[in-house]
Structure 1
Amino acid sequence: MSIDPVPSEPVSPGAGPKAGETWVAQDAADAAHPFLSWFAGLQRSEPAFVWAGLFGGNAQSAFPLVLTRRSESIAVSAATLARDALAEGQFKMASLQDASGAMTALAMPLAGLDRVCVALIERKLVEASRLAHPFRTMCEHLSSLLMPKVAGQASSGAEIGQHDLSDADLLDLLSIRDEAEFAQALFAHLERALSPDQAVLATIRRGKTHVLRSARAQDPLPRGSRAGQTRLAALHAATRAQETLLLSWAPKAAVPGSGHGVDLVAVQSEDGVARAATLKLPRRQGGHFVWLGLWDKVPANLDEQWIGLAPGLGRLAVLLDAGRGANERRWRDNLPAWTDPRGWRLWAALASVMLVVWLLLPAPLHVTGQASLRSVDQRALVAPRDGFLSQVHVRAGERVEAGQLLAELDTRELSLRLSRIDAQINQAQSRRMAAMAGFNTAMVQVGDAEIEAMAAERALIALLLDQSRLVAEADAIIVSGDMAERVGTALRHGEPMFQLAPLDGYQVAIDIPQKDITQTAIDQSGSLKLTALPFDDFPIVIERISLRAAGEGGEPGFVALARIEAGHEAFRAGMQGVAQIETGQAMRGWVLVRDMVFWAQVQWWRWIP
């Protein structure tokens, strides 16, 4: 009976095909049709294929599943795609949609035949795209199944390819999911087809070799022999080669997908055999299957056997590679062995044990705070009198020497007062001399009193003049006091002008966090690291702990004053750094998470109702 399972327009059940199109449904007579076994193998390889059929004039086809299980819109779209592929002679893909969900249709013209193979996949277009290449390869196999056999392909009285990898063999291999069973079936077929005297099948992944099958009971890759080393080198060379087949000889006729193996020549020489060959196939779990065959004598039809096997082996390689996951492509197979995830588990376990032991070991418990250098005896230089600032010779941060002039006050008024008092003293002395000449004792005594009072006033003016020049009493660093902007302004007596720190004798002021104040005590030792001297550690000892008021700079908190056990010539007051105070010992894990736990406790207390 004839039906149209993919009509271009809705038709009633049992309607005939359009002109030039023939569709043959499955019945008892079609049970042996090669298309059935082809589609059964396709479904075993990839269950996502739910339907396939042939389209074209005079097509003889079978349909394992009936398309009417889907809507007519799917049928119309699939028929249109098939006609476009047949008309243009190109592979086509399209996304189809109906009430049952999304599907993808694939249409591939069959080489040498006026037909198109159409298949439906219950996947979206993006997910189905990875199956496009294996489907096209399988369609090439289908073309060879449906084309009539060509006579006259015998060689030396025997038909070439009597042990070829047929489509049935190919589909049977692809349907095997267990790796050991797959290796056994592949090894057995190669044994039947090629009859090597010695053969070994192994897997190679990331530099590791595992022998699966061998034609002999003894180890085919003995480590202590040169033969085993050359065979192992040939197996690894096969995984790096571009070709699927490597031969130690030059065949009389070209073998598809083959190349010359230099390492096989070494195997042939070392083992004393006549021929050597390797076959490489992708492995689903990553890496490669590699088969090595050796022939003691040259078989009469070895080239013909390889020529017959090569197309099927090439198709098998393509389909195996298409079935591998995106993370197992061959670019990862040549990575070093230590990157194997199975090896990572051991190293990760060892690292975890070492980490746990390290966290349980005791470690010093430190209190860390910002630190700054202070002079032990800092001195303030204040204005000696009321007056105007005349000149400033230094700025904050500069180093000064003993006797160096720092600033000057205006002395013009004092100079005038000094000149006037000198004139008054001269007048008083003249009056005293005149009284002495007149023997006026009373006037002489009055003159002496005036001269003495004016002399005292003059001494005060001279002192004020001398104090108008502010000098450093010792070598020091000006910690604070930038008076350059105050030049010409009035100063009050006792107003601070400069803060000087002597160059010898420093102590450290450490800001103690409030969460650590209970752990800090006098006489605890620690170390200081200054930003200006990052490669030096200076031992310190806590001498005093005091409360810092808000007005002293920064937030209210605690300050620990510590002495420095070993000084440095580069020390300067005001240097900043970090100090660590040793407060005891605890497990290293607790040292690492202590601050986080304290913070979490406070936050939890704030959040809970």
Structure 2
Amino acid sequence: MNAPISSLPTRSEPGPAATAPVDEASARLDQALREARRLAAPVGFGASAPAPAAAAAARPMPAAGWLMETLAAFLQPPRGTDPLRALVLHLAASLRCDRVALGLRRRAASEMEVLAVSDLNRPSEAAELVRDLHAAMSEAAASACTLTHPSRRAVPLHPGLAHVQLGRVLGACAVCTVPLGLDGRVVGALTLQRDLGAPFRTEEILRLEQAAQFLAPMLRMHVERRRRDPLAGLGGWPAGLAPLRRPLMLGAAALLCALALLPVRREVVAPAAVHGLHERQLVAPRDGFVAVVHARPGARVVEGQPLVDLDGEGARQELRAAEAAQSQAETAVSEALARHDQAQLVVQMARVDEARARAEQARAELERGRVLAPMSGLVVAGDLSRSVGAPVRRGEALMTVAPAEGFRLVLWVDERDIAAVRVGQTGALRVSASPGRAMALTVTRVTPVATLREGRNGFEVEAALAQAAPALRPGYEGVARLEAGRQLMVRALLGRLPDWLRMSWWTLAG
């Protein structure tokens, strides 16, 4: 009764076991039951014989008939019912169990998986219960023999902690786990639970072990068929569509192939930035300090408007010194004229000219310290409002001004897509500031020099808008899509995977 799986009769092919004569199987099983009753009598199983009338009313179904009904419940389940669930429901009803669970190995070396529970439509709905059932099945698979809780007397092998824990799930219940053996390996297990007052009898365990020998090859074939055909276990086909299952699946496959070969539009997607049609960068005309800032980025300016004033204290001091020297020289000229001193007159007039030149140079330096707008437009870069008093050097960039009308687009195209971009190619642009509006564009120039961006290599492509966009501003960023012909839908779904595989193969194999 608790014999190891290796000692039970196993067959590598399920055909002979499934086609054995019913009479011979019934005779062998009835003989085993009589022997079990004789051995169980001394230890308390069947110690008192029931009355003839009560015995006739409680007489169980013959072993062969019960076995045939069990196999039929699995082989011919109701329409739309999973065979595994039909099997556990039949075992729960015929053996008066509160719960019957079936676990199988999907592959020879895989972990046991609980696939059907009689009182659960989906085993995944009760994770803790499934975990306890899995532990009990694993214990029986490790011992390769039937385990019961509470343990029967005169049985040397006692159940492990998993069976004790599972016996507490329903408060207090009896548990029996029968492994399913095939070719000397455990391919699954059946775990049964019912009230503790009705423990599993020896003849019931013999029936389960006998049924396990017939069910093991059938369950293995069922699992392999489900693994080969994942749609086989879905079920639920309407009665009118069941004969059309194969034609419908072939039609669906043909439709998928047709859709995969359908040509679709190909587009090159690239990030884009909006720049002014021609931008002017303003630099510091001389060394100095930032004194006054008249405009910030985003401000509209007109040509000649002051933008930045540099500190001109040194130039003003030079201007005052030059004006003072000029005044002294002019006074000396007047005195020389009064004295009719021709030599002194010539010297003082030269000093007047020198002082006047120094004053003009100081005034020019003061004028150069004021940076003016070179054209009307927008200030797009250079926020110096927080740099007042900061030193600047001659030639250092201060601000950038771009015209308010007329823009150019700069697209960054990945090097894997640059071959599909040509001058004159059309596309559309959407900026983050107004994502609901698409603006038409045309490629005007492809830069032949690659640039690195975010660790990838790419090329800058310039484009122009087909129509004026008053709401557009320099500095806007968005995404551009360039039309690049047509391609198969399967190629569009795979993306760059074929190119990566081709490049990897060429790299490895040459």
- Normalised to the residue count of structure 2, the TM-score between the two structures is 0.56
Aligned to 1:200: none
- Higher RCO, 1 or 2 (CA under 8 Å, sep at least 6)? 2
Which of these residues, 205, 212, 223, is aligned with residue 120 of structure 1? 205
* Residue of structure 1 aligned with 2:300, choices 388, 400, 418: 400
Q: Which residue of 2 aligns with 1:193?
A: none
Name the stretch that deviates more: 587-596 or 562-571: 587-596
Quick check: 1:107–1:117 contact (8 Å CA) kept in 2? no
Deviation larger for 359-368 or 522-531: 359-368
1:550-571 CA deviation, whole Å, 9 max, x = no partner? 5899755311111112231222
Report what 1:84 is aligned to.
Answer: none
Report the counterpart of residue 360 of structure 1 in structure 2: 261
Partner of residue 435 from structure 1, selected from 318, 333, 336: 336
Quickly say closer, same or farther: Cα 1:107–1:442, change in 2 above 3 A. closer
Look up the match of 1:576.
477
Q: Return the alpha-carbon distance in structure 2 between the equivalents of residues 121 and 461 of structure 1.
A: 118
- Deviation of 1:591 (Å): 3.6
* Deviation string, structure 1 residues 510-568 (Cα, Å, up to 9, x no partner): 11211122222222222222122211222222222224465899755311111112231
Partner residue, 1:540: 441
The 8 Å contact of residues 6 and 78 in structure 1, kept in 2 or not, is answered as: no
Distance 1:352 1:4, change over 3 A: closer
Do the aligned partners of residues 555 and 476 (structure 1) sit closer, same or farther apart at CA in structure 2, a change above 3 Å counting?
Answer: farther
Matched, 1:508 2:415: no
Aligned to 2:486, the other structure's residue is in SS state: strand
Q: 1:45 aligns with which of 44, 60, 69?
A: 69
Deviation at 1:372, TM superposition (A): 0.7
Distance in 1 of aligned mates of 2:387 and 2:321: 30
Question: For the Cα contact (< 8 Å) 2:178–2:190, is it kept in 1?
Answer: yes
Q: Distance in 2 between matches of 1:123 and 1:472?
A: 97
TM-aligned CA distance change 1:418 to 1:77, over 3 Å = closer
Q: 1:411 aligns with which of 312, 335, 355?
A: 312
- Could you list the per-position Cα deviations for residues 145-202 of structure 1 after superposition, in whole angstroms to 9, with x for gaps in the alignment? xxxxxxxxxxxxxxxxxxxxxxxxxxxxxxxxxxxxxxxxxxxxxxxxxxxxxxxxxx
Partner-residue secondary structure (3-state), 2:330: helix
Structure 2 unaligned spans of 5+ = 1-30, 72-86, 96-144, 156-171, 213-231
Opposite residue 524 of structure 1, the aligned amino acid is: Q
Q: Provide closer, same or farther for how the CA distance between residues 520 and 91 of structure 1 changes in structure 2, counting only shifts above 3 A.
A: closer
Identity across matched positions, percent: 23
Task: Work out whether residues 414 and 457 of structure 2, in 8 Å CA contact, stay in contact via their aligned partners in 1.
Answer: no
Task: Say which SS state the counterpart of residue 6 (structure 1) adopts.
Answer: helix
Conserved in 2, the CA contact under 8 Å of 1:371 and 1:511?
Answer: yes
Letter in 1 for 2:37: V
Distance 1:342 1:365, change over 3 A: same
- SS at 1:518's partner residue? helix
C-alpha distance 339-461 of structure 1, shift in aligned 2 (>3 A): farther
Counterpart of 2:458 (choices 542, 557, 582) is 557
Q: Which moved more, 1:347-356 or 1:412-421?
A: 347-356
CA contact (8 A) 1:410 1:468 kept: yes
Cα distance, 1:419 vs structure 2: 1.2
Look up the equivalent residue of 1:473 and give its one-letter code: P
Determine which of 593, 596, 602 is the counterpart of 2:497: 596
The Cα of 1:360 is off from its aligned counterpart by: 3.0
Q: Please give the alpha-carbon distance, in whole angstroms, between the structure 2 residues aligned to 1:463 and 1:339.
A: 99
Structure 1, unmatched stretches of 5+, are 25-29, 54-70, 82-89, 110-115, 128-324
In 2, the alpha carbon distance for the partners of 1:559 and 1:118 equals 83
Equivalent residue, structure 1, for 2:27: none
CA distance in 2, matches of 1:338, 1:504: 70
Structure 2 residue matching 1:365: 3-state secondary structure: strand
Change (3 A) 1:441 1:359: farther
Question: How far, CA to CA, are the matches of 1:497 and 1:554 in structure 2?
Answer: 30
Question: Structure 2 vs 1, CA of residues 551 and 33 (structure 1 numbering), >3 Å: closer, same or farther?
Answer: closer
Distance 1:462 1:72 in 2: 110
Contact 2:37 2:46 in 1 (8 A): no
Would you say the 8 A contact 1:3–1:16 is kept in 2?
no
- Decide whether aligned partners of structure 1 residues 445 and 604 sit closer, same or farther in structure 2, where only a CA change above 3 A counts: same
Counterparts of 2:409 and 2:487 in 1: how far apart (Å)? 26
Greater radius of gyration (CA): 1
* TM-score normalised by L of structure 1: 0.48
Contact 1:78–1:118 (CA under 8 A) maintained in structure 2: no
> In the alignment, residue 321 of structure 2 is paired with which amino acid?
R
1: CA distance, partners of 2:415 / 2:423: 16
The aligned residue for residue 164 of structure 2 is none
Give 3-state SS (helix, strand or coil) of 1:120's partner: helix
Aligned partner (choices 444, 454, 479) of residue 380 of structure 2: 479
Amino acid at match of 1:573: P
Give secondary structure in 1 for the equivalent of 2:357.
helix
Residues 22 and 570 of structure 1: CA distance in aligned 2, closer, same or farther (over 3 Å):
same
**Length, aligned pairs only:** 362
Determine whether 1:20 maps to 2:48: yes
SS at match of 2:422: coil
What is the 5 A alignment of 1:184-583?
352-395=253-296, 397-402=297-302, 403-441=304-342, 443-484=344-385, 486-548=387-449, 557-583=458-484
Q: Sort the Cα spacing of 1:401 and 1:34 in 2 relative to 1 into closer, same or farther, 3 A.
A: closer
Structure 1 contact 103–120 (Cα < 8 Å) conserved: no
Contact 1:3 1:17 in 2 (8 A): no
Which residue number corresponds to residue 167 of structure 2? Answer: none
Contact 2:178 2:208 in 1 (8 A): no
Post-superposition CA distance 1:67-99 (Å, at most 9, x none): xxxx9999x977999xxxxxxxx9966447899
* SS of the residue 1:583 aligns to: strand
1:126-205 alignment, distance < 5 Å: none
Partner-residue secondary structure (3-state), 2:333: helix
Are residues 360 and 37 of structure 1, via their aligned partners in 2, closer, same or farther at CA, if it must alter by over 3 Å?
closer
Evaluate the alpha carbon distance shift between residue 507 and residue 91 of structure 1 in structure 2; reply closer, same or farther with a 3 A threshold. Answer: closer
| Partner SS, residue 488 of structure 1 | coil
Matched position secondary structure for 1:456: helix
Which SS does the other structure have where 2:470 is aligned? coil
Q: Amino acid of the residue matched to residue 20 of structure 1? A: S
Distance 1:574 1:21, change over 3 A: same
The one-letter amino acid paired with 1:523 is: G
Pair 389,553 (structure 1): closer, same or farther in 2 beyond 3 Å: farther
Tell me the CA shift for residue 107 of structure 1. 9.0
Contact 2:277 2:407 in 1 (8 A): yes
User: Per-residue displacement from partner, 1:386-429 (whole Å, max 9, x unpaired)?
Assistant: 1122244544x432322554332112221111111111122222
